[in-house]
Amino acid sequence: MQIDPAKTAATLKTQVDTLTAKQAESRVGTRQEFERSSGLYDAKVNQQAGAGSVQDGTGPGDSAIAGPASPSAPGDCPAPLLSRDRS
């Protein structure tokens, strides 16, 4: 088995060119994302869904619509929603 120097050089050049293109694309993408994030921050736009914001006063896991508070003691539980008279 013989190694073809021309084929090896072509393969290496292709790999180097591919790596160079990926690095350039990554730099452009990173710069664009930074500019986008900076613009959103400057405009005070909330970037993460569910993270809450200063405007609505919610935080992670909170809901903008408040539901019933959980009972603090067993006696504080509401009556069942569906009850039937068995008389």
What would the pLDDT profile of 7-17 be if each residue is shown by its tens digit?
Answer: 999 999 999 99
- How confident is the model at residue 1, as a pLDDT? 84
The tokens describing 62, both together, are 């909170």
Q: Looking up tokens 């393969």, which residue turns up?
A: 11
| Residue 43 near residue 36, CB atoms below 8 Å | no
pTM: 0.42
Work out the average pLDDT over 18-43: 93
| pLDDT tens per residue across span 47-76 | 565 554 455 555 555 555 545 555 555 555
Question: Measuring CA to CA, how many Å separate 38 from each of 19, 28, 46?
Answer: 28, 15, 12
Question: Measuring CA to CA, how many Å separate 59 from each of 33, 50, 51?
Answer: 24, 7, 5
